[in-house]
């Protein structure tokens, strides 16, 4: 397995693209679409290891997308990165299968720790499956 | 502010309103109780009055009739005696004074009041006389009584003085002689004293009187109050209609007396009994006799008044308590609403700021990343310092918004296990800037061995923020704020927040937790802070009290149960 593939879904393109760039500098394969119109097919095409997902976006229900993705591609781990802290929505996201929950603005090193955590787990799982 | 003032004013007038309500209840209950009582008393009084009136009249009537009967008997006796004498007397007696004298003596033995006796012939000449005066040969032919007795056989005269200057009256009877062809008239005179004795044989109360008058109202017998014999009395001619068989009762308003009267048959006299007593005198007498009844009634009325007073007080206090409970509930709801809307606002703001903050964060981070990859960049150190500055500011903003979100999240009651010391540090962190600006020294004495408690984080933050804020308002720049935590007992943790500010005067201290009570200037405080604080602490099953000394400072002590809150919540 090569570099971890991270897909960042956020309506704030300024945020997502910059974050992607920084992750790329740190040897991650990071993709941040500037338009969210094709987001479902993008997920299906790219099949990232980790999905960084905002919950509140215009025209897109993050929570629904989360559930859908976990159903269609349970292998993709999802970390919610949002400015929203309503306890109800946090709980809902965790119940829907999110790996973790981070409030913006996030500390990059902490985010990377999480991504690494997720990918190493995925790697373990694959290794185990391979046995 | 005007709204708050109006509320304060209405709170003040509430006290008067309760007082008024108490008075109204007292009066209304009193009236309700008094009305039937008054009816019963009135009915009782009128009933008693009518009975007394009847009794009074009957007694007067009876007395009058008794005296009348006695007089009647007395006069009949005299008339019968005289008739008997006239019938039995031998014919020569009428011409023989000595024999007549003998008869007078005999009669006097029976009736000492007889003064004299005379015989008058049909021509009106007194042909025989026995007595102390020389009246023999006197002619009565032109006297009215002579004619009357000739017709009616019997005659009783009015009282007169006559020649003797002693009031007396005469009784005359006709005696037929010669087989009815002619007649003599026998006549005796009697001292009025005889009548007086008869009349006054009944014992009378002091203000009562009994006497005879003639039809002209001239007094005939001794009277205590109405004048002397042969003087006019208050009775005027025609005033008293004829009554023979029964006594009649009259009230004489301008004399304030009641009279009973009767005409005496075959006499010119009217018997008059007067009394100054009134019906209500009888009632007073009656009540005086039954003094215990009156005392009992008065006692019962007094008990009623006292009971009524206490009942009114009790009802008012019930109403007041229920109003207070309602008010408190309303206040709590208002506070909760207010806090909830503040919370929503804070959450909205924090969320909106978080997004641009994240962009700044990433952009600055990228800048640093890029510069790191250009080692020959001349201003690398300077550039890194600038970016570091940006990131630090972002970090500060993040702390603030996260804390705001923390507050916002806690508006609903959410019990959780929490560490009080950490919570206090959080709260103080929020106020740290102000303290630093003002040079206020913070002294933290947090007991590290405190157990975790089960309580509501947000509400507790609100409580301590409020108290510390109050402390900050009280101290001068450069003053001291102390926060100490300690275990009070196995189930209670205490937090003491102390300042060395101006202190609180005792009268203010008493009202410090009252809603809308503020000593801060106009527009500065709502006067709700400490009352909300108090409400929250109580809701969390804790307690709060305050100690203060003027000029030395104030200490708020919050006591929280380690588990009590949950138990209380569960019980609701």
Residues 6+ apart with CB under 8 A from B548: B503, B504, B509, B554, B555
> How far is the first Cα of chain B from the last one, in angstroms, to the nearest whole number?
36
pTM of the model: 0.46
Q: Is A91 on the interface with B (CB under 8 A)?
A: no
- B82 and B175 in one domain? yes
Give the dihedral of Cα atoms B55, B57, B60, B66; nearest 10 deg. Answer: -80
On whether ipTM exceeds 0.95, the answer is: no
How close, in Å, is residue B333 to chain A by CA atoms?
Answer: 22
- B262 and B167 in one domain? no
Query: What is the reported pLDDT for B520?
Result: 60
pLDDT tens readout for residues A14-65: 999 999 999 999 999 999 998 888 899 999 998 999 999 998 888 888 999 9
Give the dihedral of Cα atoms A51, A54, A55, A58; nearest 10 deg. Answer: -120
Interface of A with B in 47-66 (CB under 8 A): none
Q: How many domains does chain A have?
A: 1
Alpha-carbon Rg for chain B in angstroms: 58
A52 membership: H or E segment, kind and range: strand A50-53
Q: Do B355 and A15 touch (CB under 8 A)?
A: yes
Coil, helix or strand at residue B148: helix
B546 membership: H or E segment, kind and range: strand B543-549
Which domain range does residue B137 map to? 72-189
Q: Which of B130, B157, B189 finishes a domain?
A: B189
Note whether residue B396 is domain-resident: no
CATH number at residue B554: 3.30.565.10
Cα–Cα distance, B548 to B502 (Å, whole number) = 9
Q: Given its phi and psi angles, is residue B523 left (phi above 0), alpha (psi -120 to 50 degrees) or beta?
A: left
Which domain range does residue A83 map to? 5-130
Q: How many domains does chain B have?
A: 3
Confidence check: pLDDT of A130 > 60: no
Cα–Cα distance, B347 to B345 (Å, whole number) = 5
DSSP-derived letter for residue B563 is S
- B213 and B119 in one domain? no
Residues paired with B76 in a beta bridge:
none
C-alpha triplet B406, B411, B414: angle, nearest 5°: 90
Q: How do B182-191 and B114-121 pair as beta strands?
A: antiparallel
Chain A residues touching B405 at Cβ < 8 A: 85, 103
Give pLDDT tens digits along chain B (572 positions): 455 666 656 655 666 788 888 888 889 888 888 898 889 889 988 888 888 888 888 888 998 898 899 899 999 989 998 998 888 888 777 778 888 888 899 888 888 888 899 999 888 899 889 888 888 888 888 888 888 888 888 999 989 887 778 888 999 999 888 888 888 899 999 988 888 888 887 777 777 888 999 988 899 988 888 888 888 888 888 888 888 888 888 887 777 788 899 999 888 999 998 887 777 777 777 777 778 878 888 899 899 889 989 998 999 999 988 888 888 888 777 766 665 666 667 777 777 888 899 999 999 999 999 998 888 888 888 999 999 999 999 988 887 777 666 545 444 556 788 889 988 988 888 788 788 888 899 898 998 888 888 888 878 888 898 888 888 888 888 899 999 999 988 889 999 999 998 888 888 777 777 655 566 654 444 444 676 777 778 778 888 888 998 888 999 999 999 875 443 333 33
- B555 and B431 in one domain? yes
- B202 and B185 in one domain? no
- B430 and B562 in one domain? yes
CATH number at residue A51: 3.40.50.2300
Q: Do A83 and B394 touch (CB under 8 A)?
A: no
Closest chain A residue to B404 measured between Cα atoms? A85
In B257-329, which ranges are E strands? 257-263, 269-275
Q: Is B416 on the interface with A (CB under 8 A)?
A: no
Note whether residue B382 is domain-resident: no
Coil, helix or strand at residue B358: helix
């Amino acid at each position: 397995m090569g570099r971890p593939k991270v897909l960042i879904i956020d309506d704030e393109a300024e945020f997502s693209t910059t974050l992607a760039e920084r992750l790329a500098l740190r040897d991650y394969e990071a993709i941040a679409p500037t338009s969210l119109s094709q987001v479902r097919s993008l997920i299906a095409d790219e099949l990232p290891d980790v999905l960084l997902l905002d919950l509140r976006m215009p025209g897109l229900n993050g929570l629904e997308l989360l559930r859908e993705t976990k159903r269609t591609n349970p292998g993709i781990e999802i970390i919610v990165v949002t400015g929203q802290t309503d306890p109800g929505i946090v709980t809902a996201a965790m119940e829907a299968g999110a790996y973790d929950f981070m409030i913006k603005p996030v500390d990059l090193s902490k985010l990377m720790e999480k991504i690494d955590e997720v990918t190493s787990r995925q790697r373990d799982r694959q290794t185990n499956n391979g046995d | 502010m005007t709204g708050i003032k109006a509320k304060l004013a209405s709170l003040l007038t509430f006290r008067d309103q309760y007082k008024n309500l108490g008075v109204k209840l007292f009066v209304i209950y009193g009236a309700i109780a008094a009305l039937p009582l008054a009816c019963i008393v009135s009915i009782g009084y009128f009933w008693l009055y009518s009975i007394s009136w009847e009794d009074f009249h009957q007694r007067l009537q009876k007395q009058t009739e008794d005296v009348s009967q006695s007089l009647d008997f007395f006069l009949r006796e005299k008339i019968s005696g005289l008739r008997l004498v006239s019938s039995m007397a031998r014919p020569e007696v009428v011409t023989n004074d000595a024999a007549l004298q003998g008869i007078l003596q005999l009669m006097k033995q029976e009736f000492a009041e007889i003064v004299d006796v005379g015989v008058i012939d049909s021509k009106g000449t007194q042909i025989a006389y026995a007595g102390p005066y020389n009246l023999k040969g006197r002619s009565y032919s032109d006297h009215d009584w002579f004619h009357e007795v000739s017709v009616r056989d019997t005659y009783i005269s009015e009282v007169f003085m006559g020649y003797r200057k002693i009031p007396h009256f005469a009784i005359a009877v006709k005696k037929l002689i010669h087989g009815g062809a002619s007649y003599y008239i026998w006549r005796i005179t009697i001292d009025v004293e005889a009548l007086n004795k008869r009349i006054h044989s009944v014992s009378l109360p002091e203000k009562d009187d009994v006497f005879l008058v003639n039809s002209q109202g001239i007094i005939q017998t001794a009277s205590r109050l109405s004048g002397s014999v042969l003087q006019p009395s208050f009775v005027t001619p025609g005033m008293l209609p004829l009554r023979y068989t029964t006594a009649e009762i009259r009230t004489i308003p301008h004399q304030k007396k009641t009279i009973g009267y009767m005409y005496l048959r075959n006499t010119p006299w009217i018997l008059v009994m007067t009394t100054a007593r009134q019906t209500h005198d009888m009632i007073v007498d009656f009540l005086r006799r039954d003094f215990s009844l009156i005392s009992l009634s008065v006692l019962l009325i007094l008990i009623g008044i006292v009971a009524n007073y206490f009942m009114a007080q009790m009802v008012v206090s019930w109403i007041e308590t229920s109003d207070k409970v309602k008010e408190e509930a309303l206040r709590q709801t208002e506070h909760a609403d207010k806090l909830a809307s503040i919370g929503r606002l804070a959450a909205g703001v924090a969320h909106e700021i978080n997004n641009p903050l994240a962009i700044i964060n990433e952009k600055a981070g990228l800048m640093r990343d890029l510069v790191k990859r250009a080692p020959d960049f001349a201003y690398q150190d300077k550039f890194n310092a600038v970016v570091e500055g940006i990131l630090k500011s972002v970090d500060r903003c993040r702390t603030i918004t996260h804390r705001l979100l923390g507050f916002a999240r806690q508006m609903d009651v959410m019990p959780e296990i929490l560490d009080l010391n950490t919570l206090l540090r959080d709260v103080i962190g929020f106020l740290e800037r102000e303290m630093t600006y003002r040079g206020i020294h913070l002294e933290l004495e947090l007991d590290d061995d405190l157990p975790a408690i089960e309580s509501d984080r947000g509400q507790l933050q609100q409580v301590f923020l409020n108290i510390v804020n109050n402390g900050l308002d009280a101290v001068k720049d450069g003053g001291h704020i102390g926060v100490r935590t300690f275990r009070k007992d196995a189930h209670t943790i205490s937090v003491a927040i102390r300042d060395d500010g101006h202190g609180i005067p005792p009268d203010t201290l008493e009202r410090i937790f009252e809603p809308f009570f503020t000593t801060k200037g106009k527009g500065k405080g709502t006067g709700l802070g400490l009352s909300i604080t108090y409400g929250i602490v109580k809701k969390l099953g804790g307690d709060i009290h305050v100690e203060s000394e003027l000029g030395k400072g104030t200490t708020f002590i919050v006591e929280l149960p380690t588990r009590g809150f949950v138990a209380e919540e569960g019980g609701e």
